[in-house]
Structure 1
Amino acid sequence: MWCMPLRAHPVRTSIAVSDIGRAAGFYEGKLGLRSLWPGPSARVENGSRVYESAGGPALNVYQSTTAGQTSATLATWYVEDLDQIVDELTAAGVEISRYDELEHDARGITARAGGGRIAWFQDPDGNTFAVEADI
């Protein structure tokens, strides 16, 4: 049996949050993302948002009891000017994460495996995100 491959379809990440109102303040107010549409989340009316990035839907953010239960990086934005983006995030009140096992510059940026540079941050529930650049 032949199945249509997933590579032919768009993908977006889903992020569990404990409070959709607080999350909307972070994703819209601090990250500057635009909500494309609200929706339900399990039993919560208007408990989710779909956020745009690079002109299309990119993040499904939904209220759930499973919020913040992973330390893995859930999504990464690939940017041209990492220093500028980190400065803008910091100015908006986003705290750049630092990890003891890595060396960070003054902004909290570190070398990325295989070349380039990366910085991490977390939303109010502890969900981890990254911004990275090839140079």
Structure 2
Amino acid sequence: MGLSEHKVEVVIAVSDLDQARAFYEDQLGLRLGPRQDVEDQGVRYTCAAGTGIFVYLSPDNAGKSSATLAGWFVDDLDETMTDLSSRGVTFEHYDLPGISTDARGVFDDGRLKAAWVKDPDGNTIALTELST
């Protein structure tokens, strides 16, 4: 059957669960799962189409990856960035081979536009708008 037939969930380690919850809930606007999935060591958020994100307490692993750990596909990147900026979210700026962002933090290669944010532990999250 293979795993492609099953739901997948992103899992992100953080060092301070209260600080992470403030970021993921207040700044990113994520909502708790239908069962109010708050555990002693983590919190589960539901997203579209049965997807989700589990943020869990693991100080030894928090922020260790320099890679993007999660990403959302959004319909309107500019609108999403404006909304998140109003909540205090700041966007990363890159000038790397193959990825260079503009002054606002947007990468645009004509096929897609993307922007990145970091949570309080430095975990990188992407926002992507696909061109139609």
TM-score when normalising by structure 1: 0.86
Quote the offset at 1:100 in angstroms.
2.4
Q: State how far apart, in whole Å, the 1-side matches of 2:30 and 2:15 are.
A: 19
- Counterpart residue identity of residue 47, structure 2: S
Q: State how far apart, in whole Å, the 1-side matches of 2:101 and 2:73 are.
A: 19
TM-score when normalising by structure 2: 0.88
Matched, 1:67 2:89: no
- Structure 1 residue runs of 5 or longer lacking an equivalent are 40-45
Structure 2 equivalent of residue 43 of structure 1? none
Matched, 1:49 2:43: yes
Matched, 1:32 2:32: no
Larger Rg, first or second structure (1 or 2): 1
- Counterpart residue identity of residue 38, structure 1: V
Q: State how far apart, in whole Å, the 2-side matches of 1:13 and 1:35 are.
A: 14
- Contact residue 86 and residue 107 of structure 1 kept, 8 A: no
* Alpha-carbon displacement from aligned partner over 1:50-104 (angstroms, at most 9, x marks no partner): 0111153510100002100001011110011000001111111111000122432
Work out which of the residue numbers 122, 125, 130 in structure 2 matches 1:129: 125
* Alpha-carbon displacement from aligned partner over 1:8-67 (angstroms, at most 9, x marks no partner): 11001100000111100000000000112012xxxxxx1100011115351010000210
Aligned structure 1 segments of 4 or more residues deviating by more than 3 angstroms: none
* Aligned ranges 1:55-134 → 2 under 5 Å: 56-64=50-58, 65-101=60-96, 102-112=99-109, 115-134=111-130
**RMSD of aligned Cα (Å):** 1.5
Q: State how far apart, in whole Å, the 2-side matches of 1:84 and 1:104 are.
A: 17
Identical amino acids, percent of aligned pairs:
43
Q: State how far apart, in whole Å, the 1-side matches of 2:24 and 2:50 are.
A: 15
Q: State how far apart, in whole Å, the 2-side matches of 1:119 and 1:81 are.
A: 12
Q: State how far apart, in whole Å, the 2-side matches of 1:47 and 1:87 are.
A: 32
- Structure 2 residue runs of 5 or longer lacking an equivalent are none
